[in-house]
Amino acid sequence: MATRYNPKETEPKWREAWDRAQVFRAKSSKEAKGMPKAYVLEMFPYPSGRLHMGHVRNYAMGDVVARYRLANGYNVLHPMGWDAFGLPAENAAIEKKAQPRTWTLQNIQAMKDQFAPLGLTFDWSREVTTCEPSYYAHQQKIFLKFLEHDLVYRRSAKVNWDPVENTVLANEQVVDGKGWRSGATVESRELEQWFFRITKYGDDLLEALNTLDRWPEKVRIMQANWIGKSQGARFRWQLTRPVGAIKDIEVFSTRPDTLFGAAFVALAADHPLTKEIAKTNQAVAKFIADAAKHGTSEADIEKAEKVGVDLGLKVKHPFDPNWELPVWAANFVLSTYGTGAIFGSPAGDERDIEFANKYALPFKPVVLPPGADVTTYAVTTEAYTGEGTIYNSEFLNGLSTKDAITAAIKELVKRGAGEATTQYRLRDWGVSRQRYWGCPIPVIRCPKCGVVPVPEKDLPVLLPDNADFSEPGNPLARHPTWKHVNCPTCGGAATRETDTMDTFVDSSWYFARFANPDAKEPIDKTEAAYWLPVDQYIGGVEHAVLHLLYSRFFSRALRDTGLLDLPSGEPFSGLFTQGMVTHETYKSASGAWLLPEEIERRDGGAFEISTGKPIAVGNAEKMSKSKKNVVDPVQIINDYGADVARWFVLSDSPPERDVEWTQAGVEGAWRFVQKVWAIAEAAPSADDGPVTSGDALELRRMAHKVIRNVTLGIEQFRFNTA
RNA sequence: GCGGGCGUGGCGGAAUUGGCAGACGCGCCGGACUCAAAAUCCGGUUCCCCUUAAAGGAGUGUCGGUUCGACCCCGACCGCCCGCACCA
């Protein structure tokens, strides 16, 4: 008797059965008794309160891997938690007058309810929530441990300051030089900030990328570029007459081979020497003021024309004391890279030649490209940046560019003018946020003793519950009582650090906490040694640099401070970055975005249901609330069941590519699930006896082919073909 | 500008990595069932030629190359997507 697949009956039945048997509960290292382990993890979500299709896709993929490992006899850890600190909770607090904590915990409950019908293999007994003291208390311990080992330090740094909201904004929150919410022009301010010393691991983080053979090449390249290692030389140009205490200018260059082609030395606008000259030179002062206006927005800088101002100074060439060059300040020199000063060798650098031509600074070529004729070769407006033979360069003449770099550095060292160095683009990680809803930084500022760590016995430093969001700025800073404490060292009146940590800190070690979320110490070393590294990590490619790089740094820092046994320092041995879920967009005749359920298709066109008017159908784009091209997973699961939703997002497109959600596709998935049900029902009961001929043999062969192909498909992350 | 990826039917995409191009799904066409529709089931579906079938021809962005054999390898070009972007 053929029945139809009824998800409303079958899905809850099995969910309850799994629940009762606790099949998804991971065994501890002791209980596992030699079973192979598999740690499968998807990037934990921010509790926005609503499950979206991107979540469904992400967690369905991890679920396939986890089930596959379970079925193969592995002890599987597939945990779930909440990346629960962050700005949206504060915005909600301002708009809805709810406390961030209340709002966040409600969202978590709502999302848990939405996750349930998906039937995922999560071990909820290990749930972790970053905004709970049970989590962030340990983060404070880690912070203090890092402080002890000089992996955290304070220094003054430039930040984007919103003068209306009285807070620091992340670069992403500055749009066209204005605060994203207040619309106020963002100022550049110097503030005391806490930094993690990620640069200490720059070289290791770069080199170890080679060992991550189960990471996408693309992510490894992005991280390598982000770290940005350059080899070259640091060396000094002597000023012909000192300016105050400043006697020379230090520059960094990867091309000391072109030193004889030098035409000028250029400084960043906020180089100390530029500032010094500005005190007595109005043109220079104006230049600095103009440069500051352009702010930190990279988009502005890239379009900006090269502008400079002559500082009226001269420096001596390191290889020829009689050769004097002019010193300029230039807007294309970055204060944040190298020494904030360069020497310009126009014939070999596109920026330098543009600058030299604009300000009529004379230059000569020093690199002869292969095959070029010395007697006719000239450089006027196009720099030659490739390799070649050095000429016009005294003792470097005739050398290849490569050999000339070595020879030039040798000479610089000999003359005491400089030395070989390696320069990184990577900068230390600023983690101070002038926010309420984050992990408090556990230090106290005492007027007598300076910065004093909160003693371990006084941890955790809890967030106060009664934050006031009626005014802009950080509620912690203006809280009537919270920040006032006695100094743990001298006992005198002192104040707490009111900055909280960047939420990326929270997500940099949660995977280690899952090994035992109830541990008294931040990380249960025994269990973590058993489970880590994560065998398969799955998430969006948007975290390719920040989260994934910070986590790699944290694993090393935790290891080196004795909190974690992980010799490689690599937290994720396998990484998969999945594509987005997209959907067509719809715009009504009046130009308003429409939800998919507000439109209908008929007579070969698309129309708004309520008005009957034709609408404009746009390309498939990432599902987003603002464009209303969203489909609610809860609704889909209600209409078709979790199997259909999961089947569709897994089968339609390769997992690394975007998948376009379509109504027709979902209906196809529904029919497919029905077919599988019908086939299973129609199949005779299993007969494992010998099969030697006929259709039964053919069927058995096909079955084994299918097993092989599906196995390969799952192991190679090709769920669509599997 | 630099780095990376991609380009195959009407659509999403397969092709066991150099060996029958188009698996599977969507859509479409035809049929069965039905009074009818929906659902379901069966068959067909790269394009061209052909009433149909058979037979034939073309075909993986473009042009060229290597090879007995190329979607796959090499070179040049065109187009699209992603990341970084004045990094000295």
As a rounded value in angstroms, the CA-to-C1' distance for A678 and B31 is 22
Structure tokens at A630: 């969203």
Is there a contact between A570 and A215 (Cβ–Cβ < 8 Å)? no
Q: How many alpha carbons lie under 13 Å from residue A18 in its C-beta half-sphere?
A: 20
State residue A598's pLDDT score: 87
Banded pLDDT at A706 (limits 50, 70, 90): confident
- Is pLDDT above 80 for A179? no
Q: Nearest nucleotide (C1') to the CA of residue A331?
A: B86
Side chain identity, residue A95: E
State residue A486's pLDDT score: 95
Side chain identity, residue A51: L
Q: Nearest nucleotide (C1') to the CA of residue A427?
A: B87
Rounded (10°) CA dihedral A412, A416, A420, A424:
-120
In tens, the pLDDT along A382-426 reads 888 888 999 999 999 999 999 999 999 999 999 999 999 999 999
For nucleotide B86, the protein residue with its alpha carbon nearest to C1' is: A332
As a rounded value in angstroms, the CA-to-C1' distance for A661 and B40 is 25
| pLDDT mean over A598-605 | 75
As a rounded value in angstroms, the CA-to-C1' distance for A648 and B26 is 11
In this predicted model, which residue has the larger pLDDT, A180 or A226? A226
- Phi/psi of residue A282, each to 5°? -65, -40
- Is pLDDT above 70 for A684? no
Q: What 3-state DSSP class applies to A659?
A: strand
Length of chain A (residues): 722
Report the largest interatomic distance among the alpha carbons of chain A, rounded to a whole angstrom: 102
Banded pLDDT at A1 (limits 50, 70, 90): very low
Asked if residue A667 keeps its beta carbon closer than 7 A to nucleic acid strand B, the reply is yes
Write out which nucleotides of chain B lie closer than 7 A to a protein Cβ.
3-5, 12-15, 23, 25-27, 39-41, 82-88
State residue A482's pLDDT score: 95
Strand B within 7 Å of which CB atoms in A 187-226? 217-218, 221-222, 225-226
State residue A470's pLDDT score: 86
Strand B within 7 Å of which CB atoms in A 331-370? 331-335, 337-338, 340, 342, 349, 351
Banded pLDDT at A259 (limits 50, 70, 90): very high
Is there a contact between A622 and A628 (Cβ–Cβ < 8 Å)? no
State residue A466's pLDDT score: 87
Asked if residue A676 keeps its beta carbon closer than 7 A to nucleic acid strand B, the reply is no
Would you give the distance in Å from CA A618 to the centre of its chain? 30
- Is pLDDT above 50 for A462? yes
Distances from the Cα of A66 to the Cα of A323, A425, A658, angstroms: 69, 38, 22
How far apart are alpha carbons A171 and A297 in whole angstroms? Answer: 8
As a rounded value in angstroms, the CA-to-C1' distance for A217 and B65 is 29
For nucleotide B15, the protein residue with its alpha carbon nearest to C1' is: A721
Banded pLDDT at A603 (limits 50, 70, 90): low
Q: Are strands A167-169 and A367-368 parallel, antiparallel or unpaired?
A: unpaired
Banded pLDDT at A301 (limits 50, 70, 90): very low
**Percentage with pLDDT > 90 across chain A:** 64
Asked if residue A659 keeps its beta carbon closer than 7 A to nucleic acid strand B, the reply is yes
In this predicted model, which residue has the larger pLDDT, A132 or A691? A132
Q: What 3-state DSSP class applies to A171?
A: helix
| pLDDT mean over A364-384 | 90
Strand partners, A614: A607
In tens, the pLDDT along A425-438 reads 998 998 998 889 99
Q: Are strands A81-82 and A128-129 parallel, antiparallel or unpaired?
A: parallel
- Numbers of helices and strands, H then E, in chain A: 22, 33
State residue A695's pLDDT score: 66
